[in-house]
Amino acid sequence: MKKTLFLGLILLLIAAAGPAFLAAGQDNPQAGGAGKAISWDNFREAKTNAEKYDNEGKYVEALQNYLEYVRQAEGLGNQELVAWGKNNAAFMIIKRHKLDPSVDLEPAKKLLEEASAVGQATEDCKKCIQMNMEYVTFFLKK
């Protein structure tokens, strides 16, 4: 129980602090690289790492890399990718919640609200955001 509460707190901190939280781990090459310069190469690296960790079931690491993906996309001025990144980061929290219902979904809700506010989100992205928001709001109402 303490472990899941601690993980929930970590996820909340990650969502709230975003890149600032990641900067604490910039000496760790697997921590998402928050200290990296903005570039398409660094964006692609964050995306690749996020997908790799997601496929391995390492959702916290995937979340960290999706937050770096968002930071890179924001720096590159690509709002469509910002929306996708925030949606995908929220989905990592949802995946953790599916494994452990004590994981707090508030950070996912915040990310999805931010993703919804992006005007350049594609229709596919908007559909994914909506589906994820339905999941989150269903469990937050309980």
Sign of CA dihedral 52, 57, 61, 63: positive
Tell the CATH topology of 2-141.
1.25.40
pTM, full prediction: 0.77
Tokens of 9: 């707190």
Phi, psi of 18 (to 5 degrees): 55, -125
| Every domain of the chain and the residues it spans | 2-141
Per-residue pLDDT band for 14 (boundaries 50, 70, 90) equals low
pLDDT per position as a tens digit, 28-72: 334 444 478 999 999 999 999 999 999 999 999 999 999 999 999
8 has pLDDT over 70: no
| 3 state SS of 51 | helix
- pLDDT value of residue 141: 86
Residue 61 · residue 92 · CB < 8 Å = no
End-to-end, the C-alpha distance of the chain in Å comes to 19
Distance of CA 62 to the CA centre of its chain: 7
Quote the Cα angle for 96-97-103, to 5°: 95
Average confidence score pLDDT of the chain? 84
Between 13-17, 26-30, 79-83, 122-126, the lowest mean confidence (pLDDT) is in: 26-30
Q: Average pLDDT, stretch 73-79? A: 97
Nearest Cα to Cα of residue 35 among 78, 93, 75, 91: 75
Nearest Cα to Cα of residue 81 among 92, 66, 94, 96: 66
Per-residue pLDDT band for 142 (boundaries 50, 70, 90) equals low
20 has pLDDT over 50: no
Residue 18 · residue 34 · CB < 8 Å = no
